[in-house]
Amino acid sequence: MIIHVDMDAFYASVEIRDNPTLIGKPVVVGGSPSGRGVISAASYEARKFGIYSAMPSREALRKCSSIVFIKSRMAHYAAVSRKIRQIFFEFTSLVEPLSLDEAFLDVSGCKRLFGSGPDIAQQIKTKILAETGLIASAGVAPNKFLAKIASDLHKPDGLTIVDPADIQNFLDPLSISRVWGIGPKTQQKFTRLGVQTILQLRQLDLETLQSNIGDSAQHFYNLARGIDSRPVVPDRITKSVSHEHTFPVDIYDDEVLTAWLHELTDLVGRRLRRHDIFAKTVQLKLRYDDFETITRRKTIAATHSTKTLFETASQLLSDVGRHSRRGVRLIGLGTANLSRSAPRQLSLFDQEDKNKQSRVDEISDSIRDKFGQQSLNRGSNLEHEIRLRPDPRIGNEE
């Protein structure tokens, strides 16, 4: 039996818990509406106005003038998430986190200790509320696909159980938008076939699906029947680690871009080291003022050294070139090709340098863990805090 636990409006709920004066108000976590911010999370009071995550903050303000904007505190949310995850581990070691606010749990072998799947789900919800003051919704089902749908059906504070003998009655009335992999474009294809519900999807034979949908036909055929054989994988290594930043004004200055690249590299390197993961691919992302987005990547020896990551990313930025003097609205730094394998043994001098860098990373991580990300800054990072230089093509007017 699989349980999917999903925290209700997690970031916003944490902020409301920490500041009870926000109770009952439309609260969103995200960027400022005065810039190019987007919504990361919206309370249920905000959602009544049609506000949702990934919506531009300016649009959210237009929908609700009394909305309360709160800047995200990712380190704080991660700390709360770790407390919730520890509660999961009190019931089963088979926990597969999907993000800070949701996870799959396989409780098939826990009946003698804690009772049935629904009993365990209720115990988890009760314990989360008691120990964190936060509300979770849960779905209990024979597999991950069904459990994920179930947890989302009766939010907030929902608990939905899918009986193995009643799977089709559960699925059939639901919209095909509930099926993993059916986005807006795929949904348009199904609409042309007259398919709007999972029942109608299930009534299509595999040959019709293949001729109209292509390679995903078997996937949709199985899910429409509630078939999902994927196990809960408790020790999954993430596929990538990345951070990016959207500027309030377009940036034309290489030094400012380099300063931000330094800060993003600090964040990525710290996350890699925290999870003892090494990266073999470094990727730079730039989005220009006309919304064209480019990526450049380079494969290197496995590392989680901030110095090595920055040197690689800086070279990628240099290789892109700034000859066109186009404004940059977003910069991102990502790593991929991750593993838990340590890099190969280096030469004596290289090893000495690596040990020095590891010590620097260790000390900086320790300081930031204790006093926060902004407690330690490189001198170059002051560049992006004190000025955002205007387009050089229009002179030096302030």
Residues assigned a catalytic role: 102
Residue identified by tokens 């099926």 is 179
CA 20, 25, 29, 32 dihedral sign is negative
Sheet holding 27-30, edge to edge: 39-42, 27-30, 68-70
Q: Report how far residue 88's alpha carbon sits from residue 103's, in angstroms, rounded to the nearest whole number.
A: 9
Q: Which residue has the tokens 């001098």?
A: 349
Closest C-alpha to 244, from 270, 264, 265: 264
CA distance 352 to 334: 27
Token pair recorded at residue 222: 């199985």
Q: Which amino acid is at 287?
A: R
Give dist(CA 66, CA 48) in Å, integer.
Answer: 13
- For residue 200 the two structure tokens come to 């109608």
**Any residues with CB less than 8 A from the CB of 263 and at least 6 apart, and which?**
245, 378, 381, 384
**Whole-number Å distance between alpha carbons of 333 and 326:** 19
Burial class (CB in 10 A: 0-12, 13-18, 19+), 249: middle
| CA separation, residue 96 to residues 44, 136, 182, 242 (Å) | 26, 16, 23, 20
Q: What is the C-alpha to C-alpha distance for residues 156 and 153, in angstroms, rounded to an integer?
A: 9
SS3 assignment, position 335: strand
Is residue 1 within 8 A of residue 143, CB to CB? The reply is: no
